[in-house]
Amino acid sequence: MDNDSSTAFRHILQKLQADATLVAVRPLAGGTSRATTALDYETGGRRHTVVVRAYEGPAGHENPFLDRDAKLLHWLHHVAVPVPRLYMADDSGDILPHPYLVMEYIDAHPMNTLFSPMSPHHGVRQMASALAQIHGTAHSPGAFSFVPTQNQIVAARLKQVPRPPDELLSEDVLRTALAQVWPPQHENAAVLLHGDFWPGNILWDNDQIVAIIDWEDAAWGDPLSDVANARLEVLMHYGRRAMDAFTEQYRALGSDLNYTDLPLWDLYAALRPAGKMADFGLDGETARQFTIRHREFVCDALENLSL
């Protein structure tokens, strides 16, 4: 850490609490497009930690991502969804040259690192319940005009065809199938979506969910979009029985939804990792297993669509 960064972090802490003394700075693995840092500090003889999440671009330009994330965290905390508490949002440029948020640090572990004593089936059922809670928080699009609509996101991605396509994950097959069935014909009422709901974004203390993090892909749209993404991730990490347990639990809580288009959203979920597997840092055997399960997921979706 250079002296300029150290000084800036000290000023951030003192803005939060005047007598705070910086003890340590620790980079954290966070969202793919955000620099995330933990600041350990002392005040009144006790140690505390906060998280600083920086945003790209210069301060003072009303950064839309900072504004969106701040509004989301505030709202979700208000409706009792387990998220880190927001302490400060700063786009002034007075301390750092870029916008940043200061949030609660939660000392917990993501589900995808837990194997014992928590059963994956127990964990994925809690995942499903947490996702149903998120989807039940709001049904007024006007209140969330600051997040994009999921259908716009999907349509834009389907228009951007990379060359060459990802052959390992059958990207050509996925895009051809999606072109035949998009847009959805049986849409459910739109809700707030997490946008990247998977075990790595869910923090646990023992066998309880304590936080859902990384809301940078939040959107407004059909809840089946989140369900499909979670189904694929659960399958790839824990296998088919766990995926079925997740789906069963969510359907029990969301029994009023129309699930006709779930195979369509499964196909889109399968498209999302195309071209990105190399970025996941998987060892050879894990990558092979993920690829096999991804192929099974695609085959099931295609069969259920009768394509």
**212 and 68 within one domain:** no
Total of domains in the chain = 2
Of the candidates 104, 121, 136, which is a domain's last residue? 104
82 shares its domain with 212: no
* The last residue of a domain, from among 77, 104, 131: 104
Average pLDDT value for residue range 243-268: 95
CATH at residue 263: 3.90.1200.10
| Residue 201 pLDDT exceeds 70 | yes
pLDDT in tens, 65-124: 899 999 999 999 999 999 999 999 999 999 999 999 999 999 988 776 554 445 678 889
For residue 135, is pLDDT > 80?
Answer: yes
User: Would you state the pLDDT for residue 261?
Assistant: 96
Q: Which pLDDT belongs to residue 51?
A: 96
Please give the residue range of the domain that contains residue 113.
109-305
10 alpha-carbon distance from chain centroid? 29
Reference 84, options 152, 36, 12; nearest CA is: 36
- Examine the domain organization and report whether 146 and 258 are in the same domain: yes
Same domain? For 42 and 181 the reply is no
Give how far Cα 64 sits from Cα of 114, 117, 147, 194, Å: 35, 41, 10, 17
For residue 84, what is the domain's CATH number? 3.30.200.20
Residues 8, 10, 12, 15, Cα dihedral to 10°:
-130
Mean pLDDT of 230-248: 94
Distance CA 133, CA 82 (A): 10
41 and 183 in a single domain? The answer is no
Q: Across the chain, what does the average pLDDT equal?
A: 89
- Residue 239 backbone class (left: φ over 0; alpha: ψ -120 to 50; beta: rest): left
| Residue 143 shares a structural domain with residue 239 | yes
215 and 296 both lie in a single domain: yes
Same-domain pairing of 85 and 134 = no
Contact (Cβ atoms closer than 8 angstroms) between residue 204 and residue 111: yes
